[in-house]
Structure 1
Amino acid sequence: MKHLALAVLLALNTATLPVMAAASSTASKQAVPAGVQQLTSAEGITEYRLPNGLRVLLAPDASKPTTTVNVTYLVGSRHENYGETGMAHLLEHLLFKGTPKHPNIDVEFTRRGMMSNGSTWYDRTNYFETFAANDTDLEWALKMEADRMVNSFVARKDLDSEMTVVRNEMEAGENDPFSILWQKMAATAYQWHNYGKDTIGARADVENVSIPRLQAFYRKYYQPDNAVLVVSGKFDTAKALAWVQRYFGAVKKPVRVLEPTYTREPVQDGEREVVLRRAGDVQIVAALYHAPDGGHVDSAAFQMLMQVLGDTPNGRLHKALVEKKLASEVYGLSMSLNEPGYGMAGAKLRVDGDREQVRRTMLEVLENIAKQPITDAELDQARAKWLNGFDKLMSDPEQLGTALSETIAQGDWRLLLLTRDRIEKLKVADLQRVAEYYLKPSNRTLGQFVPETKPVRADVPPKADLKAAFKDFTPKPPVAQGEAFDPSPAVIEARTQRTTLPNGMKLALLPKKTRAESVSVSFGLMFGDEQSLQGQREVGGMLATLLTRGTRTLNREQLHAAFDKLKTSWHYQGGAEGGVLMLQTTRSNLAESLKLVRDMLRDPALSAEEFERAKHEAIGALEEQRSDPYAVASNALHRQFNRFAATDVRYQPSFDESLTELNKLQLPQLQQFYQRFYGANHAQMAVVGDFDADAVRHQLAQLFGDWKSAETYRHIPRAFDPVKAEELIMPLKDKANAVFMASLPLKMTDTSPDYAALAVGNYILGQGSGLSSRLINRLRQQDGISYGAGSSLHVDATDDAAALQISAIYAPENLPKLKAGVTEELARLIKDGVTEQELQDAKAGLLQNFKLDRAQDQSLAYALIDQLHEGRTMKQVAELEAKISKLTLADVNAAIRKYIDPAKFVKVYAGEFK
């Protein structure tokens, strides 16, 4: 769910917000149109205000060929009155239903290939779209956002269908033990303030809201004086300001007055507890503490405190619970909000775990910091990780609006920068003071109330005075700018340097100037063959996990801290057939980061202690999947395609089979697998960004040029298998949301004559961006039974075992409607075909999506290692795009009728069905 995903994102800390950009300080010197007032500029972000009260933030950056437009309205669930819970979120949905001038907004998004969405949270609602930079789409986006600000339909017919979609979104959240426990804890902690009410609202309110009341809410809050417009990325500042003035400036300033919210949660005067009893396969213990608002000086210290406590693998809770096998996972989060918020820490443990022992140990860690003071090393590690994330945030312009939405909602967009400064200046004494003040039993919501004769209370300070806070604030210089790079196949091919190391490892190097001198690396490893990998499925997967947990010279905590110190983010994931490492760093830190990668892959510790921890965590995660409808449906679907022996790496095991294999795993098996299979002679690496190609080529030859696998690598084929059509019902208990998955086996590769046509047909059926595909139009827009539905086409370059897949979420009682909707849409697609307008929109949208992917350096690096593996270049990409551009209506409709046969789908329904 959008609101929940954002909640988890925010919970980690400001550094994990979607990456944002800062523009050159020259933006503040641009001439502004008459009537537009320039307010302030900090680190390349410049703020303006129109006479009608609209505030505008501009952050131009030509280093990436994309533009993002974001409108943040200062209204969220905090502003809802009695009977209105969920109204802000419901209204967010309705603003995608159009206006008289723009009746089909989602169709317009798809036609332009725009990536668009919206989200609602406690203090704000935002709408955003990202697209390939061009004046036409920028002007359209600004014109459209100005129009739907005050002219959206907010109609009865749209409310009737969308209300049930939101209800399905609500039901999906009910399936997740963590999210529903979080909701109940917040409601217990906040007895009066709206932060205790879930953003998605009460079911009765969502189902019974009247259209006049919803329209009144819309007219009250959706006005220029209650909104902040952000434009980031590549655009002409003068043109953007002129269009903003032309379209938004034409919206009249409202005469109503918005009263500030004034409810303040009373001081909590004793422990509180909530116990949630539902079906599931995991236990959770958590504690929530009231905390200051995002602008308060204590907020930065509180964020760092929660990271010191809840980080994996360096946090205190991880060491006390996960490393000692009491829990399989821990977390710590800090909610920085407009008014006093909260922090929360917790742990997940297996169903047979000792919950009481976890509770005692967790509270000992959280509430006895006076006896075990925070150390300089803990603060330095947490700060390095936070600042690493912040640097990544500041180097990417595409998500500026999304990132700034949160600090805009907290009271001032510059809080993003002020928080960074405060974190840089933090001392251990700051964290110690904050820990001893806020993390106390009387300020805790865990589970029970215990009367005390002398209660100790935490009086959360009042909202911060931001004017005073910014009195001595001095912005830092903006980050280095990148070049204006054209991500066309021809330009990428011309700039890419390909070479092979002495051991056979292939390299693709694409040096270019990037914002903040960022560099992205993708490293793919290939292992073994069909015979040598027999019985190695679980061994290879567990080994990939263990490789990330220390080298012979650095333990797990030290390894992660070393990457954080280098401002490097990374992820390695693998299995029996190979692995992929993704890494993002800066020019100055690339060489040292590659050395760490070398030590991790070529000199791993493979310690018995970490092996036991990893095994314990993997078993816990697998047990949790048993009651997850998505995991159950996916596993059941893939098992229908089993035609291999259980020892074959292509075999899809059941949950029980996987648990049996995991429990049997021994460390010597992993050590033997490493000695036999790991090596780089069949590997591919791509480096994209700001780096010296000659230096990197020389270093990689030293680090990996002599590393060879003892086993021969041969591609393991996946041949087309016409599996018998079948319909499976997977019953689960106590699940308000169900999952549908279906797969149609196809004999095709991406060089097949019909691939391009079928790809366009699939885009129209269910892959299209926005909310305008056939499936989403039927199941969400028309029937109102599914929050999310779509299709995907899976086609390989070598193997002909392709598949068309369909999926949707829905309430179990809507199973007949779901079946009817999918069946009728497939029949209509085959019988009537697609329209000329759908064809043109799909072709444009698909090509724009390809371009947007290539504009992301990490995605481009991954595409380059894929090409190295397949022996391809960007030539094949250009040929595919040219073929898509030339497709006719007859081509697409013929491919649809040739390949899509509804009678041949394998279908799975997972949920609690009556």
Structure 2
Amino acid sequence: MDVEQGRYPVTLSLALAYFTSIGESRLPVVANDNRRRVMLCARAAKTLGLAVPILYRYCSCQISEPTARKMINTMNETEPLNQVAITKVSEDKNVVEYRLPNGLKVLLLENHTAPVVTVLVLYKVGSRNEGVGYTGSTHFLEHMLFKGTKKHNPEKGNGIDDLLTQIGAYWNATTWFDRTSYFEVVPAEYLELCVELEADRMRNLLLRQIDHDSEMSVVRNELERGENYPEEALEKDLYALAFREHPYHHPTIGWRTDVEGVPMDRLREFYNTFYWPNNATVVLVGDFKCDEALSVVAKHYGKIPAAPHPIPEVYTTEPPQEGERRFEINRAGDLARILIGYHVPEATHKDNHALAALRHILGSTYERSSCLYKILIDTSLAAETFARHDDLRDPGLFIIGATVTEDVEVKQVEEAIYSELERLSRELVTQEELDRAKSSNRKGTILAKADPSSLAFMLGEAESKADWHWLMEYDDKFDQVTPEDVRRVVATYFNKSNRTVGTFIPKEIEMSPEQMQAAMEAAEAQAEIESVLDAKHDLAELMANKPAVAKAKVKKPKIHTSSFASRLVKKVLPNGLTVLLMQNPGTESVGVCGILKAGKYFTTEGYKNSNLAELVADLLPKGSVRYSKMQIAQALESMGIAGGLEFSVDNYRLGFGTHVVSDDLPMYLDLLADLIRNPELSSEELAKTKIEWRSRFTEALNNTRSMAWNKMRRTIFDANHPFYEKTFEEQMIDLEEVSLETVREAHKKLFTPKGMIITVVGDTDLDEAFQHISDKFGDWHGDEPPSVDVPQASLPAKRTRIDVPIPEKKSTDIVIAHPTDLMRTGKDFYAAKLANAALGQDTITSRLGNVVRDRAGLTYGIYSAFSDTAFGSAPWSVSLSVNPKNVEKSLDLVSQVLSDYIENGISTEELSKETGRAVGAFTVGLASSLGIARALTEFEFLNLGPEELDNMSKNYAAVTKPQVDAAMKKYFHPEKAVTVVSGTFDK
């Protein structure tokens, strides 16, 4: 022992202190209980971060070291919570913080409003921890964390995605400057499964070269997709120029050559540096008991040691900027854009909340009472605008951006922004403006609690910026901001020498029909050669070592009958308006949504397939008989729902929906009624809206996805069909021809209480809610909307390919589609949905994703889907994005997967997996009052009622393999599908 004391003096003192702290007055060197001796040594090793052999030798266990290790491993699996030294650190607003001996921080918040839990694990590593040569490693590693561990290996059919798919989880991961977050939203019964999965991949990743190679091209396609959009290109260069020394200089996704070149060993080193308990926070929010949840966390994380090294700190700081910096991007595009970034302090700085208040006051396109809206949108200088405060762990940027209206110079927009900032540096904002911002902020916090997952994400973000107490204190500190504080921060930070300015100036590239044809022919010829040369992308070879389906063992979600029908109150006003009401107490908020039969299908004769219904909907929030546009905007802002009265339009529905604080429900319903019944519909607002829409169409002409779908709808439907879509140029012509009289006539015809549905779900008195609706809508009358009779579109005679060239695009969009006659009310609906789910509902675990993304690494995202099945004839499609060079390879693989699937049918394991996914997703999707309200509204619209909602789990569970196989043969016809490829073709 003297020798050991001499060699390990620190170990001796730490061990003595540790054993004393747990009630052992001396080292267990003479104890006869070898298991207890080993357990104490192991616990000391875990707690102190010491090597097990050191404590093993030091504690003089009278057994062999291999036996001791075996006992330690057994103890690690079974040691109960009361034997793990967990510290309760603090509690605030029902959030409780615990700390495990290995340094893991645990945040628990019980929320029993829905049988759902959110598990979020945040690692304090982001792109700020990267350097030249391995930028993007944080994000690349995020992808690799889904590639498996020894215990949960996709190659064995029990990977993370395999398991989570079967229970209907909503899961993903995100990377940002300061953090990487992994999360799962699941039925509450699967809390332990998620904790176990996250704990396992913290230290046990396989990190195989083959996974690195396939995932690199997936990440690269994600990067290429972003490069298609001017906004993303501008923001990447804005940060790169504003930060020269601090690592915020690097884009989160990384520089392209780093993404392509970073070796597996470098990613492994990055993983071994940062993925440790003492660099992580586990956040659990939802339907659980804290002591039970903590026991689960201790069971799975307690056995992981702390990092054997200090977690590297970022010590580089950005020196003050000494003059304006500018850059310009010139490439093919649509509209000019501008981004202006000002250096601002870190999130914990005393000025942070004043800057946040300024963000509210500057506003955005949909905050119509805001400064930017008034000076840019209302004046038609810009089609879109926003202000964003990036409050980060280190000093970040405050960004103001705008999309410039056609025929307006960028300089005009830039000068208007500077003029407004200069005014705010001289003049105090009014107390009324600031009070609205404060009300919006505080009510926004209440509304976030209505969705437990939102609160989990907020806690995680707070941890990345500072710690979770930062969030708990945020509203109180925001309320302390004064008008003078706002003026001071504008004067301090928003000056010329502190700003970086980026502009996107589109260059026109005219292509003649001959040039377009030549580009398409060249692309097809080159792609054909590459496809022949690349044998790697053969389906049989790609799947040679892959199990046919996941065979992971996980308890399936409970098949149960819900109770919506018994809890729902349905009332119909004399004018035909249907009101649905249901309580969901304890949330302090209410979900409100509704539908009118005022979609494109019902548009006045002569305007079929136009955007007239959508144009009317867009004008509704811009003024009514009783309220001006500004009064409406101010009321919504004070409720914390600046965009909460926007209306969406599809073929059949005009919809609305939002969360409101319970006390604001009467005000919201009052506004809603006046906007729907008595909109102002002024010539001034119509003219401004037309300018905004022209900009929208111009942008669509340069968007690969929009152009692909536009061409598709014009190809598979005739001009009189509800799903047909005119060219964007034709839509611009239609827009110019719409008069104010036409708009008002359309409103009068389309908007009627007959067939309208309003649903209220949440923490409110149902009788009072109904009375409010009756008071506001009861004396409204209108005609019966026409019945819906959608003609069945014919399948194309044969497979067809159409290419749509758009110059200078880094990523290409592909859509493969044809019409189907599937209807939501059809007997085979559930079978068809399961058939599609196994094929392409998920970009990773479905067949298409497994082959084209996971195995071949050709795309960031591939999906199959049925469009609106309310009345039939909607498209069934497969869509994906790829590098232009990979178009033919991808199409070939998609064709092989479809042929194999339709020929051989769904496997029993796939059917079981997709049934579990559907049942679990049903529970997760109804975690909030608004989610419930939307589901009830849609089922009422389809005349299915709450009974169908109650039986959904059973309906999915009753589907058989023969039914799914029959459905796919009935609805999937790739041999007659139209393929549209939109983008820049490799010459």
Is the TM value for this pair above 0.5? yes
Is residue 328–residue 347 contact of structure 1 (8 Å, CA) maintained in 2? Answer: yes
User: Following TM superposition, by how much is the alpha carbon of 1:169 offset from its aligned partner in structure 2, in angstroms?
Assistant: 0.3
User: Following TM superposition, by how much is the alpha carbon of 1:673 offset from its aligned partner in structure 2, in angstroms?
Assistant: 2.0
Work out which of the residue numbers 573, 578, 601 in structure 2 matches 1:506: 578
**1:264 aligned onto 2:317:** yes
**1:585 aligned onto 2:657:** no
**1:549 aligned onto 2:549:** no
For residue 828 of structure 1, what is the amino acid of its counterpart? D
Counterpart in the other structure of 1:465? none
1:650–1:843 Cα change, 3 Å: closer
Counterpart in the other structure of 1:540? 613
Work out which of the residue numbers 730, 740, 757 in structure 1 matches 2:804: 730
Secondary structure of the corresponding residue to residue 571 of structure 1: coil
Counterpart in the other structure of 2:519? none
How far does the alpha carbon of each residue in 1:702-740 deviate from its partner, in whole angstroms, 9 at most, with x for none? 211221225643325243432344211110011001111
Supply the distance in 1 between the matched residues of 2:598 and 2:899 (Cα, whole angstroms): 43
Counterpart in the other structure of 2:142? 92
1:667–1:384 Cα change, 3 Å: farther
User: Following TM superposition, by how much is the alpha carbon of 1:154 offset from its aligned partner in structure 2, in angstroms?
Assistant: 1.4
Counterpart in the other structure of 2:236? 183
Supply the distance in 1 between the matched residues of 2:784 and 2:112 (Cα, whole angstroms): 47
How far does the alpha carbon of each residue in 1:568-617 deviate from its partner, in whole angstroms, 9 at most, with x for none? 54432237855112132133221222111112222222222222221111
How far does the alpha carbon of each residue in 1:731-767 deviate from its partner, in whole angstroms, 9 at most, with x for none? 0011001111111322232343433222111111011
1:703–1:553 Cα change, 3 Å: closer
Secondary structure of the corresponding residue to residue 275 of structure 1: strand
Secondary structure of the corresponding residue to residue 120 of structure 2: strand
Q: Which moved more, 1:227-236 or 1:673-682?
A: 673-682
1:214–1:577 Cα change, 3 Å: closer
**1:390 aligned onto 2:445:** yes
1:602–1:895 Cα change, 3 Å: closer
| TM-score relative to the length of structure 1 | 0.89
**1:614 aligned onto 2:667:** no
User: Following TM superposition, by how much is the alpha carbon of 1:653 offset from its aligned partner in structure 2, in angstroms?
Assistant: 1.1
Q: Which moved more, 1:308-317 or 1:811-820?
A: 308-317
Query: What are the within-5 Å matches in structure 2 for residues 437-452 of structure 1?
Result: 437-446=492-501
User: Following TM superposition, by how much is the alpha carbon of 1:880 offset from its aligned partner in structure 2, in angstroms?
Assistant: 4.9
Query: What are the within-5 Å matches in structure 2 for residues 478-517 of structure 1?
Result: 490-515=562-587, 517=588
Supply the distance in 2 between the matched residues of 1:432 and 1:343 (Cα, whole angstroms): 15
1:650–1:739 Cα change, 3 Å: closer
User: Following TM superposition, by how much is the alpha carbon of 1:65 offset from its aligned partner in structure 2, in angstroms?
Assistant: 1.1
Is residue 84–residue 302 contact of structure 2 (8 Å, CA) maintained in 1? Answer: no
For residue 82 of structure 1, what is the amino acid of its counterpart? V
1:334–1:487 Cα change, 3 Å: farther
What RMSD over aligned residues (CA atoms) do the two structures have, in Å?
Answer: 2.1
Is residue 645–residue 672 contact of structure 2 (8 Å, CA) maintained in 1? Answer: no
**1:634 aligned onto 2:689:** no
Bigger radius of gyration:
2
1:677–1:829 Cα change, 3 Å: closer
Supply the distance in 2 between the matched residues of 1:871 and 1:327 (Cα, whole angstroms): 43
Work out which of the residue numbers 465, 468, 475 in structure 2 matches 1:413: 468
Counterpart in the other structure of 1:149? 202
1:582–1:377 Cα change, 3 Å: same
Work out which of the residue numbers 727, 737, 744 in structure 2 matches 1:664: 737
Is residue 427–residue 487 contact of structure 2 (8 Å, CA) maintained in 1? Answer: no
Identity of aligned residues (%): 31
**1:828 aligned onto 2:900:** yes
Counterpart in the other structure of 1:526? 597
How far does the alpha carbon of each residue in 1:34-64 deviate from its partner, in whole angstroms, 9 at most, with x for none? 4000001110111000000000000011111
Supply the distance in 2 between the matched residues of 1:198 and 1:385 (Cα, whole angstroms): 31
Supply the distance in 1 between the matched residues of 2:231 and 2:820 (Cα, whole angstroms): 38
How far does the alpha carbon of each residue in 1:474-506 deviate from its partner, in whole angstroms, 9 at most, with x for none? xxxxxxxxxxxx996541110011121011111
Counterpart in the other structure of 1:741? 815
Counterpart in the other structure of 1:248? 301
1:718–1:362 Cα change, 3 Å: farther
For residue 744 of structure 1, what is the amino acid of its counterpart? H
User: Following TM superposition, by how much is the alpha carbon of 1:372 offset from its aligned partner in structure 2, in angstroms?
Assistant: 4.0
**1:876 aligned onto 2:926:** no
Work out which of the residue numbers 328, 337, 347 in structure 1 matches 2:383: 328
**1:106 aligned onto 2:180:** no
Counterpart in the other structure of 2:118? 68
User: Following TM superposition, by how much is the alpha carbon of 1:282 offset from its aligned partner in structure 2, in angstroms?
Assistant: 1.0
For residue 810 of structure 2, what is the amino acid of its counterpart? A
Counterpart in the other structure of 1:360? 415
Secondary structure of the corresponding residue to residue 717 of structure 1: coil
Secondary structure of the corresponding residue to residue 964 of structure 2: helix
Counterpart in the other structure of 1:451? none
Supply the distance in 2 between the matched residues of 1:509 and 1:608 (Cα, whole angstroms): 38
Unaligned runs of 5+ in 1: 1-30, 449-485
Is residue 489–residue 875 contact of structure 1 (8 Å, CA) maintained in 2? Answer: no
Is residue 570–residue 584 contact of structure 1 (8 Å, CA) maintained in 2? Answer: no
User: Following TM superposition, by how much is the alpha carbon of 1:422 offset from its aligned partner in structure 2, in angstroms?
Assistant: 1.3
Counterpart in the other structure of 1:762? 836
Supply the distance in 2 between the matched residues of 1:85 and 1:101 (Cα, whole angstroms): 30
Supply the distance in 2 between the matched residues of 1:502 and 1:438 (Cα, whole angstroms): 59
**1:775 aligned onto 2:828:** no
User: Following TM superposition, by how much is the alpha carbon of 1:389 offset from its aligned partner in structure 2, in angstroms?
Assistant: 2.0
Supply the distance in 1 between the matched residues of 2:724 and 2:257 (Cα, whole angstroms): 46
Supply the distance in 2 between the matched residues of 1:32 and 1:659 (Cα, whole angstroms): 69
Query: What are the within-5 Å matches in structure 2 for residues 13-162 of structure 1?
Result: 34-103=84-153, 104-134=159-189, 137-162=190-215
Supply the distance in 2 between the matched residues of 1:543 and 1:494 (Cα, whole angstroms): 37
Supply the distance in 2 between the matched residues of 1:567 and 1:176 (Cα, whole angstroms): 30
Is residue 677–residue 711 contact of structure 1 (8 Å, CA) maintained in 2? Answer: no
User: Following TM superposition, by how much is the alpha carbon of 1:802 offset from its aligned partner in structure 2, in angstroms?
Assistant: 4.2
User: Following TM superposition, by how much is the alpha carbon of 1:878 offset from its aligned partner in structure 2, in angstroms?
Assistant: 4.5
Is residue 159–residue 211 contact of structure 1 (8 Å, CA) maintained in 2? Answer: yes
Supply the distance in 2 between the matched residues of 1:679 and 1:754 (Cα, whole angstroms): 33
For residue 156 of structure 1, what is the amino acid of its counterpart? Q
For residue 714 of structure 2, what is the amino acid of its counterpart? R
For residue 495 of structure 1, what is the amino acid of its counterpart? R
For residue 294 of structure 2, what is the amino acid of its counterpart? L
Is residue 805–residue 985 contact of structure 2 (8 Å, CA) maintained in 1? Answer: yes
Counterpart in the other structure of 2:888? 816
Supply the distance in 2 between the matched residues of 1:395 and 1:287 (Cα, whole angstroms): 34
1:866–1:350 Cα change, 3 Å: same
Supply the distance in 1 between the matched residues of 2:114 and 2:922 (Cα, whole angstroms): 14
1:828–1:424 Cα change, 3 Å: same
How far does the alpha carbon of each residue in 1:107-138 deviate from its partner, in whole angstroms, 9 at most, with x for none? 1111121111001110110100011111xx21
Secondary structure of the corresponding residue to residue 399 of structure 1: helix
1:33–1:296 Cα change, 3 Å: farther
Supply the distance in 2 between the matched residues of 1:531 and 1:913 (Cα, whole angstroms): 39
For residue 544 of structure 1, what is the amino acid of its counterpart? A
Unaligned runs of 5+ in 2: 1-80, 154-158, 504-557
| TM-score relative to the length of structure 2 | 0.82
For residue 704 of structure 2, what is the amino acid of its counterpart? P
Supply the distance in 2 between the matched residues of 1:287 and 1:567 (Cα, whole angstroms): 26
How far does the alpha carbon of each residue in 1:636-685 deviate from its partner, in whole angstroms, 9 at most, with x for none? 1111233234xx76541110111011122222221222233322122111
Supply the distance in 2 between the matched residues of 1:643 and 1:662 (Cα, whole angstroms): 21
Supply the distance in 2 between the matched residues of 1:374 and 1:880 (Cα, whole angstroms): 53
Secondary structure of the corresponding residue to residue 324 of structure 1: coil
**1:905 aligned onto 2:977:** yes
How far does the alpha carbon of each residue in 1:484-535 deviate from its partner, in whole angstroms, 9 at most, with x for none? xx996541110011121011111211123132x2111112112497684431
How far does the alpha carbon of each residue in 1:305-350 deviate from its partner, in whole angstroms, 9 at most, with x for none? 1231233312222211221111111111000100111101021113
Secondary structure of the corresponding residue to residue 332 of structure 2: coil
Secondary structure of the corresponding residue to residue 235 of structure 1: coil
Is residue 66–residue 398 contact of structure 1 (8 Å, CA) maintained in 2? Answer: no
1:879–1:379 Cα change, 3 Å: closer
Counterpart in the other structure of 1:4? none
Q: Which moved more, 1:674-683 or 1:342-351?
A: 674-683
